[in-house]
Structure 1
Amino acid sequence: MKEFVVYTAMRVVLFVASFGVVVGVMALVFDGRYNLFWAVILAFLISGIASYFILNRQREAFAQRVESRASRASAAFEERKAREDQD
């Protein structure tokens, strides 16, 4: 669960930082005005692409954790199924 929280928190921070940069650049280019809709869309795109490269280690740790939990659950299911077949 820790990996999920860390990855999600880092994604949120990355989005907020991207949003701040996009709004700042738009305000500089358009004389202090910016379109909130396009700022959010651009921030989502930038943070999504950046997270693919920047958060690779956290994403791998999260995926490894999910994989290990899934394999343990599968093994437990197979064990219960085998015990049921014996009875």
Structure 2
Amino acid sequence: MKTGIHPESYRLVAFKDMSNDDVFITKSTADTKETIEIEGVEYPLVKLEISRTSHPYYTGKHKLVDTAGRIDKFKNKYAKFKKAPKTEE
């Protein structure tokens, strides 16, 4: 393993899932200016849009995508640009 390529500034950082307000603390080198207080201790805060507590793969709550409806909507939208068939003379 190469020496001197890994950061040495690991510290405890709070990661907050903004979709469900779940917070977890882990070591990280992520740079942030925001902080959060948890149980009387102040941690640097990194905000996430999605995490293991809100991602459908981990929660088992998958969203059903209406593929047929999307295809019909696309076809209707671009039907006006359809070229007329060529006629042979």
TM-score (norm 2): 0.39
Which one has the largest radius of gyration?
2
